[in-house]
Amino acid sequence: MEDASYEGEEEKPSEKAADEKKPRKRKTESVKLTKAKKKKKECFVAQEKQDTAEDKGVEKPKKRRKKKNITDALAASEPKPGCAADLQELLRDHYADKLSIIELEELQLPDSCFLARNDLSHSLSSYLKEICPKWAKVQKNHAIKRSVVLLIICSSALRTIELIKQLTAFKGEGKVLKLFAKHIKVEEQMKLLAKGVAHIGVGTPGRIKALIEKDGLTLDALKYVVLDWNWRDQKLRRMVDIPEVKVDMLKLLETRIIMGCRAGTIKLGLF
């Protein structure tokens, strides 16, 4: 009996020892985990420091400033009516590096050739009535084919049609021709000019110049040239702000129109 009790007592301490050992293992495992986490944190911190150091060393691309286009610039400014000095300056700037001093002087327009400018309060008809008060008599006396008395130069076909509609109150019995390239062949326009007497021509500088060069349109009866100077399109551009239109217009003026202005037979107006 004593032996049996002794054996039972011997077994109990061994179980306690086993129980005591188990939590120690858990503690060591938790310690290892915390150390591993610390190491990971240290690695992340070190990596972040390295990244920031690299970022400092590399220059970031500078942000480009958005350039103001002509639409933005014009939208912020008040409209200003064109004047004779504007056209003179345009001619001078465009031909400054292309022509000699003597040739530039030949392009100089006398002040006497300029008609009253549009102060932005006029419609086309009211402006034409002001600069040509004796239109009824002028149109009655005109009988030359392939030539017009009044030439209105604008930037596009759509603008041409719009201006022709505005001529109703002015033209009287005068015949108006549209002189642009869109959907109309130059040969067709030459036939129309040769067929009967036309009093007013409205169109783009490129097509008008082409008609003059092909001898479909002459300047024999021409008395008035009106530039649609102040009108702006949807992008707020005038005809002189559109490069190809500006070049065509200047070339057209150079084709005997400036010569006629200097001779006193042609008058220029900026509408």
10-residue mean pLDDT profile of the chain (271 residues): values are 44 49 52 54 53 52 62 64 90 88 86 90 92 92 94 95 94 92 90 93 95 94 95 92 94 91 93 93
CB 139 within 8 A of CB 149: yes
The answer to whether the predicted template modeling score (pTM) of the entire model surpasses 0.85 is no
User: Which pLDDT score is estimated for 207?
Assistant: 95
Q: What is the spatial distance between Cα 155 and Cα 229, in angstroms, rounded to a whole number? A: 9
- Count of the separate structural domains present in the chain: 2
Q: Which of 31, 63, 95 is the last residue of a domain?
A: 63
User: Which pLDDT score is estimated for 2?
Assistant: 44
Tell whether 218 and 263 lie within a shared domain: yes
Q: What is the spatial distance between Cα 86 and Cα 198, in angstroms, rounded to a whole number? A: 31
Residue 71 lies in a domain: no
User: Whose CA is closest to 236, among 84, 26, 70, 112?
Assistant: 70
Tokens of 117: 């400018």
User: Which pLDDT score is estimated for 64?
Assistant: 66
Tell whether 101 and 42 lie within a shared domain: no
Q: What is the spatial distance between Cα 19 and Cα 16, in angstroms, rounded to a whole number? A: 5
Residue 73 lies in a domain: no
Q: Over the Cα atoms of the chain, what is R_g?
A: 43
User: Whose CA is closest to 227, among 147, 127, 135, 154?
Assistant: 154
Tell whether 58 and 107 lie within a shared domain: no
Residue 69 lies in a domain: no
User: Which pLDDT score is estimated for 49?
Assistant: 54
**Single-letter residue type at 14:** S
User: Whose CA is closest to 257, among 80, 87, 86?
Assistant: 87
Residue 68 lies in a domain: no
Domain that holds residue 57: 1-63
Listed in sequence order, the residues at least 6 apart from 206 whose beta carbon sits closer than 8 Å to its beta carbon are: 181, 244, 245, 248
Residue 78 lies in a domain: no
Q: What is the spatial distance between Cα 25 and Cα 106, in angstroms, rounded to a whole number? A: 107
Q: CATH code at 265? A: 3.40.50.300
Question: Which SS3 state, helix, strand or coil, does residue 115 take?
Answer: coil
User: Whose CA is closest to 166, among 120, 115, 127?
Assistant: 127
Question: Which SS3 state, helix, strand or coil, does residue 256 take?
Answer: helix
Residue 76 lies in a domain: no
User: Which pLDDT score is estimated for 59?
Assistant: 56
Q: What is the spatial distance between Cα 67 and Cα 171, in angstroms, rounded to a whole number? A: 45
